[in-house]
Structure 1
């Protein structure tokens, strides 16, 4: 049995914490300073974590490798299993041209560019984040806005800022699922707290978007639909994450926000010519005037309806119980780790949810989508393989980062850092979202930031007397605000709208909003750690 040590370096917590941060510093410096590709940085960081665990913490080499292997498996299943199948569904809609039909349908909902920004960047972007994540919403929504006549810079900025509130529950809840796994906290508890933080962002972001599109006039004339959209999104995200399903949180919220806009007469008023001339300064796509058969429009919306239906059925208690029966729980081979107190850690066992996982349910919805859209079985399989190939570097990045996180957690490195950080005391509540924000700003992924910092947030909370669920959730909720300034997302946005090499210009435009919203989130977490907003926590 390997027993974790908190102070393996000269019996000094400070020196041990400094050594324990080497894997994290390696990854962050390689990404943020050297600008190395994420999968290379992740692999090098993993190697450093393994060396620190073996040489610094005395973890046997075999157990170190076993811990890394467990992280790799979790990265593949269920994490990337969800992402691959979700992106596969999207690729089938593109192949059958039903995605273009959907884009034209959105364009016909309103001719007001401010409302179009809310429908496409905020609502549809949230739906794409729910299904795929990993930069897809920014690229797709930016392209759609430019096709409607938005200036490329404005379209990219709107898409980047909109990609905030849904990120924590993106890719079928992947970030919070990862957070629960690496911290050992119950998924429902973590998701419940995140669902009481990010909805508050959803109230603000739509107002920011109409301001970005049309300045003060946009706020003055469209604050009602913006607030209605944000409120509907916020309520639905809170309700779904707390009482329905983590995987459905963003899907339900996106549909609720869009429904609020469609139902509001104010949002359907034609835009004045002065607004359209001032905002739509780019070239408009010629195919927007095409009329699509009603049957094809319904088929374009079908994949998202099928996903909602499959996940909803999966939440029925009797069905859920049957799905859970396929889950396999077993002792992880070559791993026998005890906490400093001598009690075995939860990582000694591994749970493999073969059916009761978001990826398998999305796969089922994808098979139904292929049938509805008329995609031949051979073509569907080819698209699935192409999706895996497209995501090969993302798969390598996620698995290496999670392997790094597992090695740090099981060797005791994360616990050492957490005990050292706990010295910040009450200030932890303010700094916790900042740590998540920094992690996402560098890595471009809330999932990666949660894997890297989730466990040390929990350890620090336990040592300082704060709620572990609160600080773990704050890591994810603060992280979503770093996504708009991450090099990965900036590059994706520039490439999508033809602004290659202008990442710096976009960064200067979105950075103030990222910092302002981060400050709001920090204040929310601080107040939730006190009696002022403590009643919000479950």
Structure 2
């Protein structure tokens, strides 16, 4: 038995159908922002609401709907949940062995100012991790680092989510951009160029915006020189690399340049006053003295940072296309070592069909939609992080018994966040399989001459639903191209707008919220984090909408 997607199930009326399709999303907003449900309860009940809509309104067979949820839940556990477990585990190893105290003091030796620490770790280091690994790793690791430095957990998670806006479009070695080439037929390089003429404006603004959120406008102006060094160096590198090298390296290069530029700048420039949060009880004099007393040798500092250096090396290697192909059993080259890895990767990659769902749903083009459980055990970024944790065991000299006990402790701590992630990714999958997300996309595409403004909102909506800029680009890329052509908008601009708009939806995506809360020990407080980020997400998507509208109608010379 097959089932054909119907994007206008309510009386063949697109507007009414879109209103019905909005019900689960509006419910989720209500559950977190108003009702303040725990994350796993909000995720599970939103999933139930979505199932009711797809079964009773979209007439999707119950079996297909349930199996679609199972496909999403499995993806939520591997690779996404696996990244969170291993990231938090690695962080806990450094804490338990006392290495994180040395890391904290090494950062304080560069700057004790919380504003500048946020720029170094949340913005620059987080962007590097986004470029190398993507998924939840950047927020999980950088937020945990900030909490270790003394940041309030809610602030640490929120700041890292907002900081992650700048690099998301080029995350995981440029996958969000390169993935769009296939379904749209537009060269990835052209899309990369256009995104590189939108996001740098945001990349200059985000460091300033972050510090305003943390400290207010007056305190922000005190560190404006450092903010400019951080943001301008990142944005300029992002523009040059995206326009002349391609989509693979903008995040990694921009992050490294920004990190180095700010660290060097802070050797010659200091703010006139040290900013700390009001909740920090210790005095400036005492804090400075404690840092001086806790001075460490370069060797001790290098050892303390080694777990994260090893992590960076592993996830960077895992992101290299040829190695990624070998790790997942898809390498077709002649390199002997990669062929050996490919053989192992093939044995540890499982793609079983989803029973009752694979090729059972017919899309608008009359083509069956394949559905498989994607289990890449060796190729998952979480496995790279786990291997980094194995190497860390020998660096920090922790016993296997304590190493294992820490891992079990991490699993126990993260049980509810993993349930949350499984539920919200299951929700994303059933939304896509039923056609609900396409209904919403088609409704936004009816905005006519205002479509250039609303085009980024499609990407924002897609990332909110799926939690991924890549998934959003695959979901709405072709719709953006077709609609743009029909209203006289350049298709390359529309595709770039989908990706650029999507980055502002990442901070309110249910799975991103769950990941961030899990990383900083706020499981059950997802509603507080959602309330923290949602206003910033809406503000930033309006900025991208205005920029895209101007580029379409006034600044068309910016389109490649």
Q: 2:503 aligned with 1:477, yes or no?
A: yes
TM-score, normalised by the number of residues in structure 2: 0.74
Contact 1:110 1:268 in 2 (8 A): no
Question: Equivalences for 1:5-16 in 2 at 5 Å?
Answer: 5-16=6-17
CA deviations on 1:151-209 (whole Å, 9 max, x unpaired) are x8xx9869845642325767x958997999999969x9599576765443222233345
Query: How far off its partner does 1:312 sit?
Result: 3.4
Contact 1:120 1:145 in 2 (8 A): no
Could you tell me which of 420, 433, 437 is aligned with 1:410? Answer: 433
Query: How far off its partner does 1:487 sit?
Result: 9.3
Once superposed, what is the RMSD of the aligned Cα atoms?
A: 4.7
Could you tell me which of 512, 519, 524 is aligned with 2:547? Answer: 524
Task: Give the distance between the partners of 1:276 and 1:260, measured in 2 at CA.
Answer: 20
Could you tell me which of 334, 343, 346 is aligned with 2:367? Answer: 343
CA deviations on 1:232-261 (whole Å, 9 max, x unpaired) are 334566788896997x87666444322112
The corresponding residue for 1:283 is 282
- Residues 179, 260 of structure 1: alpha-carbon distance in 2 compared, 3 angstrom cutoff: closer
Contact 1:478 1:522 in 2 (8 A): no
Could you tell me which of 382, 392, 408 is aligned with 1:369? Answer: 392
Task: Give the distance between the partners of 1:47 and 1:513, measured in 2 at CA.
Answer: 28
CA deviations on 1:387-443 (whole Å, 9 max, x unpaired) are 222222221122111111211211222222222222113434433555776899xxx
The corresponding residue for 2:93 is 92
Question: Equivalences for 1:490-505 in 2 at 5 Å?
Answer: none
The corresponding residue for 1:465 is 484
Q: 2:337 aligned with 1:332, yes or no?
A: no
> Structure 1, unaligned stretches of length 5 or more?
147-151
Task: Give the distance between the partners of 1:416 and 1:225, measured in 2 at CA.
Answer: 45
The corresponding residue for 2:312 is 308
Query: How far off its partner does 1:25 sit?
Result: 2.5
Task: Give the distance between the partners of 1:250 and 1:322, measured in 2 at CA.
Answer: 23
Query: How far off its partner does 1:363 sit?
Result: 1.9
The corresponding residue for 1:149 is none
Task: Give the distance between the partners of 1:79 and 1:534, measured in 2 at CA.
Answer: 40
Query: How far off its partner does 1:17 sit?
Result: 2.5
Give the length in aligned residue pairs.
Answer: 510
Q: 2:423 aligned with 1:423, yes or no?
A: no
The corresponding residue for 2:60 is 59
Could you tell me which of 161, 164, 179 is aligned with 2:162? Answer: 164
Task: Give the distance between the partners of 1:378 and 1:394, measured in 2 at CA.
Answer: 25
Task: Give the distance between the partners of 1:515 and 1:97, measured in 2 at CA.
Answer: 40
> Structure 2, unaligned stretches of length 5 or more?
330-345, 486-490
Task: Give the distance between the partners of 2:391 and 2:548, measured in 1 at CA.
Answer: 42
Question: Equivalences for 1:125-524 in 2 at 5 Å?
Answer: 132=137, 137-138=142-143, 140-141=145-146, 144=149, 160-161=158-159, 163-167=161-165, 192=192, 197-208=198-209, 213=215, 215=217, 219=221, 222-234=223-235, 253-264=254-265, 267-272=267-272, 275-276=273-274, 283-284=282-283, 285=287, 287-289=290-292, 290-316=294-320, 319-325=323-329, 326=346, 327-335=349-357, 336-345=360-369, 347-433=370-456, 448=467, 457-458=476-477, 461-462=480-481, 464-465=483-484, 467=491, 469-480=495-506, 517-524=540-547
Task: Give the distance between the partners of 1:403 and 1:140, measured in 2 at CA.
Answer: 30
Task: Give the distance between the partners of 1:494 and 1:307, measured in 2 at CA.
Answer: 19
TM-score, normalised by the number of residues in structure 1: 0.76
Contact 2:353 2:373 in 1 (8 A): yes
Query: How far off its partner does 1:271 sit?
Result: 4.7
3-state DSSP of counterpart to 2:163: coil
Contact 1:398 1:448 in 2 (8 A): no
CA deviations on 1:72-114 (whole Å, 9 max, x unpaired) are 1111111111222122211111111211211111111146666
- Residues 5, 475 of structure 1: alpha-carbon distance in 2 compared, 3 angstrom cutoff: same
Moved more, 288-297 or 8-17: 8-17
Query: How far off its partner does 1:276 sit?
Result: 4.2
3-state DSSP of counterpart to 1:473: helix
Query: How far off its partner does 1:379 sit?
Result: 2.1
The corresponding residue for 1:109 is 110
Contact 2:314 2:388 in 1 (8 A): yes
